Structure 1
Amino acid sequence: MASLPGLRPRFLDRLTEGPVICAEGYVFELERRGYLQAGAFVPEVVLEHPDQVRVLHEEFVHAGSDVVEAFTYYAHREKLRQIGKDHLLEPLNRQALELARDVALDSGTLLAGGICNSNVFDPADPARHAQVRDMFDEQVGWAAEAGADFVIGETFRYLGEALLALEAIRSAGLPAVITLNLHSTTQTREGMELPEAMRRLADGGADVVGLNCSRGPATMLPLLPGLVEAVDVPVAALPVPYRTDAAHPNFQALADPGYSGFPAGRPFPTGLDPFTCNRYEIADFTRAAHAAGVRYLGLCCGAAPHHIRSMAETLGRRPPASRYTEDMSRHVYFGSDPALAPQYLEYGRAL
């Protein structure tokens, strides 16, 4: 299906109007809701419970996302082969794109296709290059047929793999957002420093370049000014909403010495709840990243709609969900509204 001009804003035009917000995090949120299995993290929910995927798309748009990203993360040929479900590859991708397209059309938001790290890329093996490129080509082809406004290529640790994704997207005639995922260093797996890697991607035709996943706001933010300075295209920043720090720069490394009952002895990926950023920390990150020049903002694994609403409101917007932004003046104990019973106002002052 070709793009439908006039029904949705075009991505490149939208980038010139102001910051773009893209909600990600479907894998973790649907796992928390009980519709996706942690471990393989394959999005079979797209086929098994499509209504839940649609609802989450709608919730993120309601909260302020400008983009509906098709839930095709880890829906590539290699992942499905690993769980013995290669036959689901095309129906899963097409269904995910259809669900996202319907919500994007209904809401007037942007539709994005999505591809990600293959886990089989080897920079020294040309056969693997061809294998990965074929995987990207088929997923990008389905996104183009669905009328995607652009395609997101994300979570790459190898620059070489990111460039293969970029080539596939550009070959389909679609704009590309390419984000790298650096866990603990400032270099790609090939050993290239991040600003130079961003320049290579921008020179290769990426419309937006940046970072996503693994790092939380505190450990992604210091990297962003250097990326903005390095390239002439918009920079993306989509951290995970977890309290990473210098000793634990990514959410895989987080540790809670006070509790030893985590599966495999670590909080990642199913015991991260105590490390979750609140909405005010996400607002702080949004403010700082925007001030640094970042123009494509979002959140990755762990994001929930209230985080996206905080991001949108920090950028001066009032999405539909802002109707329900907190108003503590009416709280029975902590409020100040004169309509509250005097005894409760007194109780609040005592607290």
Structure 2
Amino acid sequence: MEFRKELKQRILIGEGAMGTLLYSRGIDNCYEELNCTEPDQIEAIHRTYLDAGADILQSNTYGANFHKLKRYGLEDQVSQINRQGIAIAKKVAQGKAFVFGTIGASRSIRKSDLSLEEIKRSFREQLYSLLLESPDGLLFETYYDLEELETVLKIARQETDIPIITNVTLHELGNLQNGVQLNEAFKRLEQLGSDVVGLNCRLGPHHMIRALESVQLPSNAALAAYPNASLPEYVDGRLVYDAAPEYFGSSALQLRDQGASIIGGCCGTTPQHITAMKAAVGDLAPIVEKKMPATKVETIEVREQDRTPALYEKAKTERTILVELDPPKKLGIEEFMKGSKALKEAGVDTITLADNSLASPRISNAALGMLIKSQLDLNPLVHITCRDRNLIGLQSHLMGLQTLGLNEVLVITGDPSKIGDFPGATSVYDLSSFDLISLVKQFNEGLSYSGQSLGQKTNFKIAAAFNPNVKYLDRAVQRMEKKIECGAHSFLTQPIYSTSQIEEVYEATKHLETPIFVGIMPLTSTRNAEFIHNEVPGIKLPDHVRRAMAAAGNDPIQAQKEGVAIARELVDAAMDKFKGIYLITPFLRYEMTAELTRYIRTLDQTKTSEVAAYE
């Protein structure tokens, strides 16, 4: 049999699920390892699918790449596991079915976990291992990220001319997660040399049929559909799929009507589902013409921009002062609002609100941000951590902030929960700070994470964190540059306690046009100074600073004065090099940051007067 010829003459039936079938039998470890440890079990499953009517068997190698096998300590067995996977499938097929080598996606929702270079290296190792066993073709499946799929397809096409099936996966109908329409994605994959373009996983038959309704028949490639059995049900701690095989039979005919030439099954499907689909399509040939529905163009509303200049824009040319004031840990906001008012009167440009700093629960910064906006007429900068919300919660939170008009945000990773008041709480980290910056940027383009339209474009101004208190400053600057590529508009630094360090930061970042707000946090006591010096990772106070704080002894008033005096020296150094100043209020002692704000404004006024007098 010749695959490309057969594909034009009849509907080919793909295999059903392997992983969920093993899972239903109580196996919950590395499925790919079974190629070597229990080959008879994998062989039996392939044989059952062949007997059910499958025309294409796919090797049990979906996750058999370096990065996924490393989780099980099997990274040195990539070649063995992949080669054995093909060998088992070929032993079963015996010319009665095509054998395709399966390669699954590496990227999950956290794109930053693996760089493209890491993916390329891992992919090549798996690809070469599969090709050594001479499969009839390759099947790339469950790719949410089109960039990754295009990257690996280019590599594969350079190495082999055997048939390739490329299946993408959708969060929602119509678009991939980067906003590319499904029809456009298929065209791009076809141009890169894919013989078959299609969908697999995530969607059941109903939604997969709907997704294909908007897809034109490719010019040269064929279409494939591998739906899930259904939406899974959670029963007694296990995921259970419960779609009737008969339903899959009727759905196979509808998938064929939408142009699918290959129809198989993904999560939850069994040999019974494959039997039903084979019986339904029989020897039917693929359709050659398809009537497309009228195209509906969705417009994305562009909301009127906030007329208040963005902080990052202002900081390019004017002195801009941000002051962080932590939301209270207890109910009652009178002192917090009093401090916020005092800071405004002192001349701050805005107040920045941490998101449960030090992993300790505080009053919602969005709630306090709205009060500051409505009562003090300041547009606060609201922090968003990756720690406390999963992807669903983050997207909901962003939509809420946009609705409230809180469009100045600082995206940070967030301290791990184990250092806070509830060390047993879960740190989520669905996204890294890079991923979240990219997500906010995508919101500004009017697209959700899934690629669906939000109906409106948001107008978030994205600040990011920069930690200069590291051994290798050049690496920290490289992280800054990566965050700029992701969409960051400005940076707030961790607190700096050395004038020479401010100079070093300036020299290391002066090539960047992105504004930097230099972080300065006044010390409150010698105990506070020693804690920061000895217990806060990465921060070391200069000896003269520690001596000055020690000299203040246990006198809180004198210690506070000394802390402000030290902060003034740092302010002087920062103002000479940077327009942006980021004052961090310690322990809600807003009178200290208010005093420093007035000091900065006075210095600027004095310099302005001196320049005017000189002219």
Flag whether TM exceeds 0.5 (same fold): yes
Match of 1:284 in 2: 250
Match of 2:58 in 1: 69
Match of 2:528 in 1: none
Give the conservation status (yes or no) of the 8 Å contact 1:121–1:161.
Answer: no
Hey, what's the Cα distance between the residues in 1 that align with 2:177 and 2:208? 17
Residue 56 (structure 1) aligned to one of 26, 45, 56: 45
Higher-RCO chain (CA-CA 8 Å, sequence separation at least 6): 1
Match of 1:199 in 2: 187
Match of 1:79 in 2: 68
**Are residues 1:17 and 2:6 paired?**
no
The one-letter code of the counterpart of 2:195 is D
Hey, what's the Cα distance between the residues in 1 that align with 2:5 and 2:216? 20
Match of 2:137 in 1: 150
Hey, what's the Cα distance between the residues in 2 that align with 1:207 and 1:317? 21
The one-letter code of the counterpart of 2:186 is M
Match of 1:183 in 2: 171
The one-letter code of the counterpart of 1:103 is V
Hey, what's the Cα distance between the residues in 2 that align with 1:160 and 1:225? 24
Flag as ranges the 4+ runs of structure 1 deviating above 6 A.
Answer: 120-125
Match of 1:235 in 2: 223
The equivalences for 1:302-317 within 5 A come to 302-316=268-282
Hey, what's the Cα distance between the residues in 1 that align with 2:236 and 2:76? 34
Give the conservation status (yes or no) of the 8 Å contact 1:212–1:238.
Answer: yes
Match of 1:134 in 2: 121
Q: Secondary structure at the match of 1:23?
A: coil
Q: Which of these two proteins has the greater Rg computed from alpha carbons? A: 2
Distance 1:107 1:229, change over 3 A: closer
Hey, what's the Cα distance between the residues in 2 that align with 1:238 and 1:228? 18
- Per the TM alignment, residue 183 of structure 1 is displaced from its structure 2 partner at its CA by 2.2
Q: Secondary structure at the match of 2:214?
A: helix
Give the conservation status (yes or no) of the 8 Å contact 1:227–1:235.
Answer: no
**Are residues 1:114 and 2:112 paired?**
no
The equivalences for 1:301-340 within 5 A come to 301-316=267-282
The one-letter code of the counterpart of 1:65 is A
Match of 1:324 in 2: none
Hey, what's the Cα distance between the residues in 2 that align with 1:83 and 1:143? 20
**Are residues 1:29 and 2:21 paired?**
yes
- Structure 1 unmatched ranges of 5 or more: 1-8, 243-250, 264-269, 319-351
Distance 1:204 1:316, change over 3 A: same
Distance 1:209 1:199, change over 3 A: same
Match of 2:482 in 1: none
**1:222-263, Cα deviation, whole Å (9 max, x unpaired):** 011322346542111100011xxxxxxxx3xx567xxxx643
Hey, what's the Cα distance between the residues in 2 that align with 1:255 and 1:145? 40
Distance 1:26 1:180, change over 3 A: same
Hey, what's the Cα distance between the residues in 2 that align with 1:221 and 1:151? 24
Give the conservation status (yes or no) of the 8 Å contact 2:59–2:100.
Answer: yes
Residue 210 (structure 1) aligned to one of 198, 201, 222: 198
Match of 1:341 in 2: none
- Per the TM alignment, residue 41 of structure 1 is displaced from its structure 2 partner at its CA by 5.1
**1:257-314, Cα deviation, whole Å (9 max, x unpaired):** xxxx643xxxxxx3324xx211110011101111222111100111111110111010
Identity %: 26
Distance 1:41 1:212, change over 3 A: farther
Match of 1:339 in 2: none
Hey, what's the Cα distance between the residues in 2 that align with 1:285 and 1:98? 32
Match of 1:321 in 2: none
- Per the TM alignment, residue 129 of structure 1 is displaced from its structure 2 partner at its CA by 1.2
The one-letter code of the counterpart of 1:114 is T
Hey, what's the Cα distance between the residues in 2 that align with 1:121 and 1:224? 24
Hey, what's the Cα distance between the residues in 2 that align with 1:96 and 1:59? 16
Give the conservation status (yes or no) of the 8 Å contact 1:169–1:175.
Answer: no
Hey, what's the Cα distance between the residues in 2 that align with 1:131 and 1:26? 27
- Per the TM alignment, residue 122 of structure 1 is displaced from its structure 2 partner at its CA by 7.5
Give the conservation status (yes or no) of the 8 Å contact 1:283–1:311.
Answer: yes
Give the conservation status (yes or no) of the 8 Å contact 1:120–1:132.
Answer: no
Distance 1:14 1:138, change over 3 A: farther
TM normalised by structure 1 equals: 0.75
Hey, what's the Cα distance between the residues in 2 that align with 1:62 and 1:42? 22
- Per the TM alignment, residue 23 of structure 1 is displaced from its structure 2 partner at its CA by 0.6
The equivalences for 1:252-271 within 5 A come to 262-263=236-237, 270-271=238-239
Hey, what's the Cα distance between the residues in 2 that align with 1:291 and 1:93? 35
- Per the TM alignment, residue 207 of structure 1 is displaced from its structure 2 partner at its CA by 0.5
Distance 1:215 1:165, change over 3 A: same
- Per the TM alignment, residue 138 of structure 1 is displaced from its structure 2 partner at its CA by 1.8
**Are residues 1:272 and 2:240 paired?**
yes
Give the conservation status (yes or no) of the 8 Å contact 1:42–1:80.
Answer: no
- Per the TM alignment, residue 117 of structure 1 is displaced from its structure 2 partner at its CA by 0.8
Alpha-carbon RMSD: 2.3
Give the conservation status (yes or no) of the 8 Å contact 2:83–2:132.
Answer: no
Residue 152 (structure 2) aligned to one of 161, 165, 188: 165
Give the conservation status (yes or no) of the 8 Å contact 2:100–2:135.
Answer: yes
Hey, what's the Cα distance between the residues in 2 that align with 1:211 and 1:239? 7
- Per the TM alignment, residue 19 of structure 1 is displaced from its structure 2 partner at its CA by 1.1
Hey, what's the Cα distance between the residues in 1 that align with 2:251 and 2:122? 34
The one-letter code of the counterpart of 2:213 is P
- Structure 2 unmatched ranges of 5 or more: 285-615
- Per the TM alignment, residue 317 of structure 1 is displaced from its structure 2 partner at its CA by 5.4
- Per the TM alignment, residue 14 of structure 1 is displaced from its structure 2 partner at its CA by 1.8
Hey, what's the Cα distance between the residues in 2 that align with 1:304 and 1:123? 31
